[in-house]
Amino acid sequence: MNWRSGKVDVLMKEKLRCAHGIATALEYLHEHKNASKVTDETFKLTGNTGSLRFMAPEVALNKPFGFSADIYSFGLTLWQMLKMEVPFDSITGRKVFVNLVVKKGARPKFEESWGGPLADLVKSCWHSDLMKRPTATQYESFGAA
């Protein structure tokens, strides 16, 4: 794929279409969770659930988390779809993973050909500062462009 020239192969187009669908579903879930809240605004989920390799740092550290944890996981899922590899596959053991990924901020490598807006968007999804991660709506809007 050559993102800058606008030449995108058929497989890449399908991957991006699937990513857009996932983002649309996330947007829907996030919107409906907000619409049906029965607790106050300070409520945050906690708990160490799910696959460690797709887990947001704040979740792995048992800190309060919100929708941005989903975006982190989505960014890794998108990377896996694009690269067709499992993220952090060579890292074994929880302690090593937490040290490298959670504490030191290691992230999967990008192909040069991904460049530009797509790479920037995926990287923003797994930003270590959860406030700098895009919302599902922001990603979904990008995918529609």
CATH number of 25's domain: 1.10.510.10
- The total number of structural domains that make up the chain: 1
pLDDT at 106: 93
Strand partners, 45: 65
Is 72 contained in some domain? yes
Q: Which residues contact 91 (CB under 8 A, 6 or more apart)?
A: 53, 97, 100, 101
Predicted confidence (pLDDT) at residue 37 exceeds the cutoff of 70? no
Is 44 contained in some domain? no
Q: What angle do CA 97, 19, 6 make, to 5 degrees?
A: 110
Domain ranges, residue 138: 10-37+50-144
Is 45 contained in some domain? no
Res. 80 pLDDT band, cuts 50 70 90:
very high
Is 87 contained in some domain? yes
Is 4 contained in some domain? no
pLDDT at 46: 46
Write the DSSP symbol of residue 134: P
Q: Exposed (0-12), middle (13-18) or buried (19+): which is 77, by Cβ within 10 Å?
A: middle
Is 137 contained in some domain? yes
Predicted confidence (pLDDT) at residue 89 exceeds the cutoff of 60? yes
pLDDT at 22: 84
Region 122-133: what's the mean pLDDT? 90
pLDDT at 114: 72
Q: Using the Cα atoms of residue 36, residue 39, residue 40 and residue 44 in order, give the sign of their dihedral.
A: negative
Is 5 contained in some domain? no
